[in-house]
Chain A
Amino acid sequence: MKVMVAAFVVALIIAVCAPVVLNQFGWSSAEQGSSPASVRLD
């Protein structure tokens, strides 16, 4: 069960880190903040 909880926590950590990492490459579609250069779905 520890492994299961660890995997869930890692999934959430990845979710939190993803927009920050993507932003380094100028890919910020998943980011909530706005950027004139970014491509946004909404």
Chain B
Amino acid sequence: MKTKLLGAALLAMATLLFNPAWADNAPAVDRTSTGGAQTLEDIMARQQQLKIDESFRSENLGNPANAKPITEQLGTRGGVSDSDVWRGIRYNQSDITTQMRGPAADVLIQDGGMPWYKLREGPLISYGGGALLGILLLLVVFYFVRGKIMIDGGPSGTKIERFKAIERFGHWLLAGSFIALALTGLITLMGRSFLIPVIGHEAYSTLAVGSKWLHNNIAWAFMLGLIMTFCMWVVHNIPNKLDWQWIKAGGGIFTKSHPSSKKFNAGQKIIFWTVMLLGLSVSLSGLSLLFPFEMPMFAGTFSVINSVIGTDFPTALTPHEEMQYANIWHSIVAFAMMVAIIAHIYIGSVGMEGAFDAMGNGQVDREWARQHHDLWVEEVEAKQGKGGSS
């Protein structure tokens, strides 16, 4: 339940982040003096970053019913002036015909390019990069405050199989590809700002081309790893009452207690569902980017969100705007995943004695297992007593 709420909150927050829905509305403007055209008040409001209802011009596309006879001035234009025509082109309302057969060939002007670029180069890098630095700093502080979580009484010396080879393979396929995707994604997003000043345009060009190739292609390994791990572990990650006890005890991190847990504790379940839900979202938006204009998703998604929570997200998007939304969303979800995974890597390596063995060779110390997954150990031992396996 917590994971679902977290996912919904993340979706809403991230969507609001790149939608100007929060901007103050500009006051109503009387445009009778300009015959309905833009006024100085409109220009001033736009300069003040106020939200302007653009329908006075996006819908002002001329009226063929008012067309003059063809023998009179402008008669051949069918009641549409040059301004009407260009407004129609700008707002993608014109019926464009073209011999070009490529996707989006009939979009002559798209209005969202600069806002997308500014968002990508500005807040996305600042907040995303800040989140990564923030979690790293938090973990360093946590390490010095809490220290490494040790096995109480030391290791027993006997081992128990925690994960089978196929489970570890799926995990590392997902993890290895994710790390490659994260690094190449960061190079692509931030390279212009941070790498070009250091290594120059030519070196960055080579790096960027290589990053793009790896990012586009290793994504399939990520998706395969995501499916594998979901299929293998979903049964063990269904929330239950035990998780609430674990969460109330804070996982025993500060109290140094050991709340009961089966194969996966509540913390691991949160990571699992975070990776699954965000992994699905980042995969879908990634596919939308990998096959440009072929898999538009945002107009439909916004339509559903609007109908559920009564928001006013745009549902008439040009193909380019679909790509821009997919790009921004892809980055936001990826940053959220990186933050979660950095914490996961910490607790699975330097943060806890004996934890890495679970994915390293699959064999964990029995005492470690008893302290962190007591009910799972009991299950395994009961099965082994009957001649079964974990």
Q: Which of B339-364 touch A at CB < 8 Å?
A: 359-362
Q: In the complex, which residue of chain A has the Cβ closest to the Cβ of B360?
A: A1
Question: How far is it, in angstroms, between the C-alpha of A29 and the C-alpha of B213 when the chains are bound?
Answer: 10
Residue of A3, A16, A32, A41 with most partner-chain B CB within 10 A: A3
Q: How far is the CB of A25 from chain B (nearest CB, A)?
A: 11
In the bound complex, do residue B218 and residue A15 qualify as a contact, i.e. CB atoms below 8 Å apart? yes
Q: How far is the CB of A2 from chain B (nearest CB, A)?
A: 9
> Known interface pairs A4-B359, A14-B218, A30-B216. Does A41 touch B292 (Cβ–Cβ under 8 Å)?
yes
In the bound complex, do residue A29 and residue B173 qualify as a contact, i.e. CB atoms below 8 Å apart? no
Q: Which of A4-35 touch B at CB < 8 Å?
A: 4, 6-8, 10-12, 14-16, 18-19, 27, 29-30, 32
Q: How far is the CB of B365 from chain A (nearest CB, A)?
A: 17
In the bound complex, do residue B218 and residue A12 qualify as a contact, i.e. CB atoms below 8 Å apart? yes
Interface string of B289-305 (1 = CB under 8 A from A): 11111100000000000
In the bound complex, do residue B220 and residue A7 qualify as a contact, i.e. CB atoms below 8 Å apart? no
Q: In the complex, which residue of chain A has the Cβ closest to the Cβ of B359?
A: A4
Q: How far is the CB of A24 from chain B (nearest CB, A)?
A: 14
Residue of A10, A14, A39, A40 with most partner-chain B CB within 10 A: A14
Q: How far is the CB of A31 from chain B (nearest CB, A)?
A: 9
* A-B CB contacts (within 8 Å), total count: 73
| Selected contact of A29 from candidates B165, B180, B209, B216, CB within 8 Å | B216
| Selected contact of B290 from candidates A4, A16, A29, A32, CB within 8 Å | A29
Instruction: List, in ascending order, chain B residues with CB within 8 A of A14's CB.
Output: 217-218, 220-221, 224
Q: In the complex, which residue of chain A has the Cβ closest to the Cβ of B228?
A: A7
Q: How far is the CB of A11 from chain B (nearest CB, A)?
A: 4
| Selected contact of A3 from candidates B172, B180, B214, B224, CB within 8 Å | B172
Q: In the complex, which residue of chain B has the Cβ closest to the Cβ of A10?
A: B173
Question: How many interface residues does chain A have, given as a range?
Answer: 20 to 34
> Known interface pairs A4-B359, A27-B291, A30-B290. Does A16 touch B172 (Cβ–Cβ under 8 Å)?
no
Instruction: List, in ascending order, chain A residues with CB within 8 A of B169's CB.
Output: 3, 6-7, 10
Instruction: List, in ascending order, chain A residues with CB within 8 A of B214's CB.
Output: 15
Q: In the complex, which residue of chain A has the Cβ closest to the Cβ of B293?
A: A39
Question: How far is it, in angstroms, between the C-alpha of A4 and the C-alpha of B360 when the chains are bound?
Answer: 7
Q: How far is the CB of A40 from chain B (nearest CB, A)?
A: 8
| Selected contact of A18 from candidates B212, B220, B291, CB within 8 Å | B220
In the bound complex, do residue A11 and residue B292 qualify as a contact, i.e. CB atoms below 8 Å apart? no
In the bound complex, do residue B217 and residue A4 qualify as a contact, i.e. CB atoms below 8 Å apart? no
In the bound complex, do residue A15 and residue B102 qualify as a contact, i.e. CB atoms below 8 Å apart? no
Q: In the complex, which residue of chain B has the Cβ closest to the Cβ of A6?
A: B169
- Decide if B366 is an interface residue (CB 8 Å cutoff): no
Instruction: List, in ascending order, chain A residues with CB within 8 A of B216's CB.
Output: 18, 29-30
Question: How far is it, in angstroms, between the C-alpha of A27 and the C-alpha of B295 when the chains are bound?
Answer: 13
Instruction: List, in ascending order, chain A residues with CB within 8 A of B370's CB.
Output: none
A-B contact pairs, 16 of them (CB 8 A): A3-B165, A3-B362, A4-B360, A7-B168, A7-B170, A8-B176, A11-B177, A11-B180, A11-B218, A14-B221, A15-B217, A15-B221, A19-B217, A29-B290, A30-B213, A40-B292
10 further interface pairs, Cβ-Cβ under 8 Å (given A3-B362, A29-B291, A40-B292): A1-B361, A4-B360, A7-B175, A7-B225, A10-B169, A12-B218, A15-B218, A18-B216, A30-B213, A39-B294
Task: Write the residues of chain B forming the contact surface with A, with a CB cutoff of 8 angstroms.
Answer: 102-103, 165, 168-173, 175-177, 180, 209, 212-214, 216-218, 220-221, 224-225, 289-294, 359-362
Closest 7 CB pairs of A and B: A7-B172, A30-B216, A11-B221, A15-B217, A15-B218, A14-B221, A8-B176
